[in-house]
Amino acid sequence: MKIFWPLLILILSSPALASLKVVTTTPDLAWAVKQIGGEEVNVESLLRGTEDPHYVDAVPSFIVKVRAADLLCAVGLELEAGWLPKVRGRAGVLESPYCEFGRSIEALEKPKGPVDRSMGDVHSSGNPHFYLSPSYLVQGAGAALQELKKLRPEKSSFFDKRYEKFVERMNSFQNEISQKLEAVNERPFLQYHQEFTYFFKSYGFKSAGSLENIPGVSPSASRLAQLSLELKNQNVSLVLAARHAPLATLERFQSLSDIPFLRLPLGMIEGKHESYFDLQNELASEILKHAK
């Protein structure tokens, strides 16, 4: 009996039994890590999905959460370049377990040659908005799988099995949504910023380019006028934009080109989407409702 309490304390405090604390930058990544880690992980996202993940400050609460994490996972491809290095530095976790989903994917729109700021919001490692595509999110989650296996080698087969199931579910889900969207993907789609590139590719959409001439820079009036003329005979279905894309610009382009626009979430929103499937279903149903 004398050894009961010390033994209980030892068992409860054993790191092998405690779930891993994983912090991700976006809710989509958090959901993906949870699919792989199951009950072995306790996942929290720094962002709630309502933010533009590039234009975020290194707020003090992030430092607290990152400091307490066993593993930090980010989108990468420089999406969080403005704030995550600062958070990691202040939290003292620069050498701690860290994964970037972006390192596990074959990034699209990777610029050839040197990149400078005259090119606008161009990411030297490629377009970071891959997590709107189920197949790319799964690819990216491979980075998290590797880190989880390093942290819990004894659970490697558990994580591997869950990852395999995750891949199957996501592929099957993507096929299902693709079939639904076939009804509208004959005509090309335009995007405001290059945020739907991976989404278009995964669901077989034809892209008519983007409204922005220089990534990250609001299109000028002459750009809108010129593009509306260029696209006049291309039968463009819709302009897809992020929820916070400037309404006045989109309305102006619609009046010039007669092409309607649709503002959509670019990721899961906490409190609104229970799962990534909810997000994708919402995107698909909105597109089906509004596409010409």
DSSP conformational letter for 183: T
The yes or no reply on residue 244 touching another protein (CB under 8 A) is yes
The yes or no reply on residue 52 touching another protein (CB under 8 A) is yes
Q: In terms of residues, how long is the chain?
A: 292
Which residue is listed with tokens 């720094």?
Answer: 46
d(CA 20, CA 69): 8
d(CA 190, CA 211): 7
The yes or no reply on residue 94 touching another protein (CB under 8 A) is yes
The yes or no reply on residue 288 touching another protein (CB under 8 A) is no
Q: Can you tell me which of 8, 18, 85, 275 binds another protein, judged by CB under 8 A?
A: 85
Contact between residue 260 and residue 239 where contact means Cβ atoms under 8 Å apart: yes
The yes or no reply on residue 111 touching another protein (CB under 8 A) is no
Contact between residue 69 and residue 63 where contact means Cβ atoms under 8 Å apart: no
Torsional sign, CA 108, 113, 115, 116: negative
Q: Can you tell me which of 20, 58, 148, 236 binds another protein, judged by CB under 8 A?
A: 58
Q: Can you tell me which of 81, 119, 225, 284 binds another protein, judged by CB under 8 A?
A: 81
C-alpha closest to that of 68 among 52, 86, 87: 87
Q: Could you tell me the smallest distance in angstroms from the CB atom of residue 173 to another protein?
A: 27
DSSP conformational letter for 186: T
Q: Can you tell me which of 245, 250, 264, 283 binds another protein, judged by CB under 8 A?
A: 245
Site string for another protein, 186-225 (x = CB under 8 A): ------------------------------xxx-------
Contact residues toward another protein (CB under 8 A) are 46-48, 50-52, 54-62, 64, 67-68, 81-83, 85-86, 89-92, 94-95, 117, 216-218, 242-246
